[in-house]
Amino acid sequence: MPGGRLPAVVTAVQLNRSAPDALDSPPDAVGAVACCAPLVREPLSADDAVALARTLKAIADPARLRLLSLVAAHDGGEACVCDLVEPLGLSQPTVSHHLKVLVEAGLLARDKRGVWAYYSLVPGALDSLAGVLTTGWAERSPSVSRAAPR
């Protein structure tokens, strides 16, 4: 990442601050990420490592990163599958699969309305993930935030 900064999708969760904080009643995957201590402050437990790896695996796909960004940038901070197929250039079943992975990881919420399902970012989920990954790195290694892109 240029300049060691987090991509815009990580900060896009700020769009929906009026919703209740996800940490008050987190889904399992978000709760697992939220309960993890920052990586440099103390070792992760085996269970926390599994949960964090599952979340990181969910966002380790370019299509899913784009989905997070598209949903966050969509009017009202929510989008239907039908709104996401064309921008991604993937089939509807493939987009639905990627959305399901992001929901199971606790990063997106799914709201069924009749025959349509709308997706939105879980408030605080990306902030929690970013906090687990970044808190304490600057104290440990000031060069991390200035690292040149590879």
pLDDT in tens, 78-89: 999 999 999 999
> What CATH number is given to the structural domain containing 101?
1.10.10.10
Q: Rounded mean pLDDT of 41-45?
A: 77
What integer pLDDT is reported at residue 37 of this predicted model?
55
Q: Which of 99, 125, 130, 102 is nearest to 15 (CA)?
A: 125
Nearby residues of 118 by Cβ (< 8 Å), 6 or more positions away: 78, 79, 80, 110, 111
Residue-wise pLDDT for 53-62, tens only, equals 889 999 999 9
Which domain, by its residues, includes 69? Answer: 2-13+26-144
Could you give the CA distance from residue 10 to residue 48 in angstroms, rounded to a whole number? Answer: 21
What integer pLDDT is reported at residue 45 of this predicted model?
83
Taking all residues of the chain, what is their mean pLDDT, rounded to a whole number?
A: 73
Residue 20 is assigned to a structural domain of this protein: no
Does the pTM of the predicted model rise above 0.75?
A: no
Total domain count for the chain? Answer: 1
> 110 - beta bridge partners?
119
Residue 18 is assigned to a structural domain of this protein: no
Residue 150 is assigned to a structural domain of this protein: no
Residue 66 is assigned to a structural domain of this protein: yes
